[in-house]
Each structure stands twice: as structure tokens, then as C-alpha cells.
Copies of this chain bind each other. A is one copy, B any other.
């Protein structure tokens, strides 16, 4: 029998208890042991909860117990939780967590204090999709060429709705909030930070690379306009918030931002609140993983899978590497090279295109396609859409600053990166 304590009994914690109860038969058959939740720790004991295990608000007493084999950490939070998890690992007990923010900052610190214990965190990325396992074990024969992931269901829901139903970002966000797909304060999701935490975790497993959210390029989806949607449709793209990690020689580029993705690519077909992650290995080629990236039951499915792995004594190295120290380094944001799309609203006057083209040329940006659209006939303004060939991020940022300064440019130009 494996005895566990659940730290944090919210939606996911309750689902974990429910799975261990309802699926006890198949879980025991699969790992040879019964997995039993002995106790749950909550902040507020007065709150009604639909779980059938003893609860306490005294976390200290639970950590000091000798009869707990595995602690399931579902409290959230970064520094405070990190201290608690470290204390548990120091005692030689194992931890299973869904806490992506803690891992985004402390995954290597935690790996150091593992000793004989193990740490499972399948639930921290893409909910119920076994993406950690696929990357750490399934593709272990490969150098990972790239990871491209739709890692945030809220953003994907909003972007899918904008593509299909033509709503504005604000309207669709409001709708998503009413449906419970977006938080009251949506910044963490729509700003790309949640996806960035997940990308950092995946990148460690793919590349053994340590980086913090502050180190990488993170842009949200709040600037996507109906005109961008128009352009995307016109050129057969979907717009997706992608977490991208790519190996370029001895360096790894990592970034989270809205991307124009060719419609016929599998990842472009991942719609609504679903997550999808494409992993590209040098031998296996492209593989793609799809499923619910959030929700109590899906996330709890991943938590219990980690428990089963520990019960089976079939755990791979936490972050996928037995030997420490990657030879790969993070590529500075400015040196990223990709294709770009610009949207520039200008006064409809002679010479405008030539002047913009000149700025592009000076910044060594080569244009692949161009489209001009005037909303109303005889309007004083018009919108220019450019798609570029591959060029450097620094050059693009420079060009955008120069273009913004041109007197006929009416609003700050927009840019979306193209992923092909």
C-alpha cells in the first residue's frame, strides 16, 4: 500500500481522491499496490468539500508524519511552496506536483535535493496529456530539434473564437470569462506567462537547459485584431499562441508569442480549449500530442499516473538527464530568426509604400508577400500587410521603431511571427 497526503484539496485535489476511489481496481491491477490518500491539507477547514478523506489545516503536522510515502502538492504558489517541497524531499519522501510556476523557477534546485526520493510533475504541463513522459522517455533516442506547443487553453479558446466567429479580443475574452475558461484577472493566461512556465519545463527535459521566465521572449495575445484575423484567413494561416523551443547549433531559442501557422499543419487544427504539442526529433520526425490541457479530472489523471509510476518503481530521471550540465546555451532574444507579418495603418497618400519599403531594406528585411486593404472607399487611411522572409528579431524591432516614426503612420504598427 502506498500512503499519500494531498496538500491542497481544490478542484484537482478532489479529482485525485475521486480517481483513487473510483478506479482503485484498475490502479491496483496496474501497479500491484493500493494507493490510499490518508489526509488532505486545506487552508480553510470551514469550506465545504466533496471529498471523503480526513482534512486538516496543519501542514506542519502532516509533513512530520512518518507514515506518508508520497506528498501530492496542489497548493500553487512559488517560494513558500518551494520551501515546503524541499523540506519533504530532504526527508527522503517523494513529491508529485502540478505546480508549473514553482518548477519554472526551481526545477533544478529541486532536482538537487532529490536524494532517494523522486518527483513527478506530469500534471504541470498540458494537463492530462502525457507530454513529459513522451519527451523524457518516448523520444529519448532523439536530439530534439524543436518543440511547438499550444500550451494554454484559454488563449486557444479565444483565438479559435476570433477566427471562427469574428469577435474582438475584448468581447471573446468576456465570453470566455463567463464560461469559466478565463480568470477574472486573465493576465497570467493571455499574457503568455502560463505557457512560458510550461515551455521552460519542457525545454529542460528536451535540452537540459536552465532558464527563467525573465530570460525568454514572452508576448500575449491581447494585441490580436480583427485585421490580423483577416490577413490570416487570406493567406491560409491559423493564429495560435505557441510556446516554441528550437535547437540552433549549440544554442536554444525559446519564445512564447502569437504565431501565424499554416492551416494544414496538425497543430493549426487544435481548436478551442484543447492543448496540442508538436515534438520534432532528429530521428522520429514530427510527433504531435493532443488533449485537455486543464480541468480537475484531466490534471488529476496525470497526477495519479505519476503516483502509479512511483508505485511501479519505474521512474525516469526527474528532468530526463542523469548527467548534469547541458552544453547548450540560451539564444539571446534579439538573435532569433523567423518570418514576420506586419500590419501598418497609414494615411492613404502617394509614396507611403516606397518609404516603408526603404525602411525594411535598410533593416535587411526582405518582403515575401504584400497586401493592401482599404476598409471604406475614399477613406483617408489604408492598412498595409507585409509577410517577410526569414530575418533577425533585432532588425524587425528596429524597423518597427523606424516605421512608427514615419509621419503618415497612424498607429503603432503590429507584428506577428510566422511559424512555418
Please list the residues of chain A having a beta carbon within 8 angstroms of any beta carbon in chain B: 15, 19, 22-23, 26-32, 122, 128-130, 133-134, 137-143, 208, 266, 269-270, 281-292, 295, 297-298, 300-305, 307-309, 312, 314-317, 320-323
Contacts and interface: CB of A to CB of B under 8 A. Distances in A.
Contact of A266 (B142, B290, B292): B290
Q: Shortest 10 CB-CB distances between A and B: which pairs?
A: A130-B138, A32-B322, A141-B304, A287-B291, A128-B284, A284-B301, A288-B290, A140-B308, A283-B297, A283-B301
Tally of this chain's copies: 2
Contact of A30 (B129, B282, B288, B320): B320
Nearest to A326: B29
B137 A308 contact: yes
A301 B133 contact: no
Given A128-B285, A321-B30, A305 B269 contact: no
Contacts of A317: 30, 32, 312
A15 B22 CA distance: 44
Contact of A323 (B32, B122, B290): B32
B138 A122 contact: yes
Given A29-B322, A288-B289, A290-B266, A283 B138 contact: no
A143 B26 CA distance: 7
Contacts of A122: 138
A389 B130 CA distance: 35
- From A289, A292, A320, residue with most partner B Cβ within 10 Å: A289
Given A141-B301, A143-B23, A300-B141, A31 B290 contact: no
A129 B300 CA distance: 24
B133 A322 contact: no
Contacts of A323: 28-29, 32
B283 A140 contact: no
B27 A141 contact: yes
15 contacts: A23-B143, A29-B321, A30-B317, A32-B322, A128-B284, A130-B133, A133-B134, A133-B138, A141-B304, A266-B269, A283-B298, A284-B297, A287-B291, A288-B289, A289-B290
A40 B25 CA distance: 43
